[in-house]
Structure 1
Amino acid sequence: MIKKQMDMASQISEREIVYHLYITQALIFLIALALGSYLFTRDTFMAIWQWDVREILLYGGGCAALVLFVDFLLIRYAPEHWYDDGGINEKLFRSRSVPHIFMMTAVIAFCEELLFRGVIQTHAGLFFASAIFGLLHIRYWRKWLLLIAVVSLSFWIGFVYEWTNNLWVTIFAHFLIDFILALHIRYRVKEVKGDA
């Protein structure tokens, strides 16, 4: 099943991958809304959204900085085939403009954090939310380093959410991680091709 998915990913166009990304995020958002409307009252839902800019920048930014430090160490020192996702992220980001990358990573961060931290973790706990997050990243299952990284990331961001009880903190952290890594992919690929 995973090999079939990797084969399909290699044959799909960049445009189709972007389309599927937005469809997936829309589904995640709708699932979060459906579950959230059942599990939250208005007051309990509003309680997880605290617009504290200092906390968002300090804890969200600090969380992201630590993850990015580890990710860039892995990129620098681990063999590339250990963290190669079959070219999907390259297809997603290599030809996108910076504003489009910004928009894509903001949508991903908002939708995924709303579902995994805001709804699932708030009501079922950190372990369950991180396990589901890892299970949904099926394309990483055959790449042990990527699987460990994505599950560890989910636990780390989940821990920060437990600590701050502020969904904006984890949305900002998730966004920064994805945005900076996407920019790295975009410019690294151009540099390799000689287009920089």
Structure 2
Amino acid sequence: MKKFDLRNIRIRKVSVDDLDDRMLLLNLYGTQALTFIIGLIWVLFQRQNVIHLFAFPKEAAFLWWGAGLAGAVILVDLLIARFVPEEASDDGGVNERIFRNRPVWHIAVISFVVSVCEELLFRGAVQHAIGPYWTSIAFAAIHVRYLRHWIPTGLVFSISYGLGYIYLETGSIWAPIIAHFIIDFVMGLIIKFRRES
């Protein structure tokens, strides 16, 4: 039996184009699972009640806050796509690869998983500890694929700050989850159907 040697492990930079579809999805769901676990542990260490955090509010105002922010973000994103050169808002083709060939139901599943996992960590845990401004800086930093260009970096920071703001206004994590879901789902559909046509 061969002995395992840590010195034989080589780390190399991998482009999104180097990943096949299966590995791309494993990476996506794996990072979201890790995000959810870290967020859940952090929330528990803060002695927050997870059931209370995910409780639906009695009033429906959180729906309007979430849908309103999502609508504003989508409008701004479409304006940027219309008037800004594509290379200035390039994410390295990651979103294209994730959404291009997915069926609509899978785009919805991806959008829901990402919105719940990221909002648990960033709004539920990080924002509770350091506030919306620094949370937005951290949120923009983990979306590393956008950091090469200032327009998408600024947009991600602004979206995160908006998500933090509606979380504070409504007192419900469901407002940013709904906004995040609608943004990802609609943008995923735009990528899918723009390519199909």
Structure 1 length normalisation: TM-score? 0.89
Amino acid at match of 1:29: F
> Deviation at 1:53?
6.0
Q: 1:140 to 1:57 in 2, by over 3 A?
A: same
Matches within 5 A, 1:35-184: 35-42=42-49, 46=52, 49-52=55-58, 54-184=60-190
1:189 aligns with: 195
Q: Work out the CA distance in 1 between the residues paired with 2:86 and 2:59.
A: 37
Task: Give me the identity figure in percent.
Answer: 37
Question: Which runs of 5 or more structure 1 residues have no equivalent in the other structure?
Answer: 192-196
Question: Which runs of 5 or more structure 2 residues have no equivalent in the other structure?
Answer: 1-11
Say whether the 8 Å CA contact 2:90–2:146 is kept in structure 1. Answer: no
Q: 1:52 to 1:74 in 2, by over 3 A?
A: farther
> Deviation at 1:121?
0.6
Q: Work out the CA distance in 1 between the residues paired with 2:132 and 2:146.
A: 20
Q: Which has the larger helix fraction? A: 1
> Deviation at 1:152?
1.0
Aligned-pair RMSD on alpha carbons? 1.7
Range moving further from structure 2, 25-34 or 154-163: 154-163
Amino acid at match of 2:186: I
Q: Work out the CA distance in 2 between the residues paired with 1:106 and 1:53.
A: 22
Within the alignment, does 1:23 sit opposite 2:11 as a pair? Answer: no
Amino acid at match of 1:13: D
Q: Work out the CA distance in 1 between the residues paired with 2:182 and 2:195.
A: 20
> Deviation at 1:48?
6.3
> Deviation at 1:45?
6.0
> Deviation at 1:49?
3.3
Structure whose CA Rg is larger: 2
State the aligned residue count. Answer: 186
Q: Work out the CA distance in 2 between the residues paired with 1:92 and 1:166.
A: 29
SS in 1 for 2:60: helix
Structure 2 length normalisation: TM-score? 0.88
> Deviation at 1:24?
0.5
